[in-house]
Amino acid sequence: MNALLKKPLMDEALLAKLTGRLGDKATIEKISSAFGDVYGVFLPDIIKSETTLDVEVAYLGCDSGYKNDLIADLGTSVTLADATLRNWSQNITLACGNGFIITLMEHLLGATPDTIEQPADRLLSVIELELAVMVFEKFANVMRSAVNASGGFEPILEFPHASETRPKPADDKPDEFAVAINMSIKLSGLISDFSLIIPQAALLKTTVTAPKAKGQSTQSSEWTAQMSEQVRRSQVTLEAKIRLQDLTLRTISRLAAGDVIPFHDSGDVRVDVSANSKELYVCEFGRSGENYTVRVKDTINSDDELIRHLMN
């Protein structure tokens, strides 16, 4: 009897529409397109002023749905950064295709457009994630300048992470309706996608306005210096290779524990030191106290060549 008297639950989507958390298709597309227009005009200018690089940004459209589903639909070749903007939204997620970060890193470390190829489909390295921090800051600042959030607060970004390492949402935490505003960014002929995933509760209250243009000085040296310094501070595993005396296959097949193989060099023993399969130094084998050592005799690659190699 009680079951018959119980009122049916209201449809979740209908309830969201009545409470301003889900909008109609035309409204969502209009606001999303306005975001795309702002990014298409101002993001290239920001990147140009700070890196001297030319990029093209285009609006691709928008997708509406549950926020977690929209993020999952982006695939695995993206890097994500969660963000908050006080007085606007506490649950923003920015996404950028890894290809753009990889290509941008190559440019900042001195590669020329004719030497840059389509990046491999891979996760970002630790160093590239450091660059992603700066990229997401630019994305977030354009977003902030386009919305009508009061107070003039700066967006707060969490450290970027790969989509596959994103923690799974808690089962007891309800998802919310959101919109993914999808755009493309073209650098050196290579096109990547980036997206803003914004709760519709915030989006529907937003009046998008184009920010006023500001004169900006070129800061490419700052980006390049920061990336180069990050590379220099990164830990690198070195490997040393010593040539041994030539032996016949018959002799090698009969080697047993305790047998000794002489070095190829009879005088100073040459050691080739490498990192990430890149030869770095010619050294000589020696000993200091109880430790075996190598002493650098000559370098093989320039500092800039080494940095560009090791960052991969």
- 161 and 278 share one domain: no
- 227 and 241 share one domain: no
Looking at residue 94, what is its pLDDT?
A: 98
- 165 and 149 share one domain: yes
CATH number for the domain harbouring residue 198: 3.40.1550.10
Among residues 232, 257, 286, the one where a domain terminates is 232
- 260 and 163 share one domain: no
Asked if residue 219 is part of any domain, the answer here is yes
Query: In angstroms, what CA-CA distances link 257 with 188, 260, 261, 264?
Result: 56, 9, 11, 20
Domain that holds residue 142: 10-232
E-only strand ranges, 27-131: 55-66, 78-85, 89-97
- 196 and 279 share one domain: no
Residue % of the chain over a pLDDT of 90: 51
CATH number for the domain harbouring residue 243: 2.30.330.10
- 220 and 249 share one domain: no
- 179 and 292 share one domain: no
Asked if residue 204 is part of any domain, the answer here is yes
> Mind giving me the DSSP string for 137-174?
HHHHHHHHHHS--TT-PPPEEPPPEEGGGSPPPPTTS-
CB distance 169 to 68 below 8 Å: yes
Per residue of the chain (312 residues), give pLDDT as tens: 444 444 445 577 777 676 667 888 999 999 999 999 999 999 999 999 888 899 999 999 999 999 999 999 999 999 999 999 999 999 999 999 999 999 998 888 777 788 888 998 999 988 899 899 999 999 999 999 999 788 889 999 999 999 989 988 877 677 899 999 999 999 999 999 999 999 999 999 999 988 775 544 445 556 666 666 666 666 667 889 999 999 898 998 899 998 999 999 888 899 988 876 678 889 999 888 888 999 998 887 666 566 655 555
- 224 and 267 share one domain: no
Looking at residue 226, what is its pLDDT?
A: 67
Among residues 232, 265, 295, the one where a domain terminates is 232
- 94 and 51 share one domain: yes
Looking at the structure of the chain, the number of domains it has is 2
Q: 198-230 pLDDT, tens per residue?
A: 999 999 999 998 877 554 444 555 666 666 666
Name the pTM for this structure: 0.71
Looking at residue 108, what is its pLDDT?
A: 82
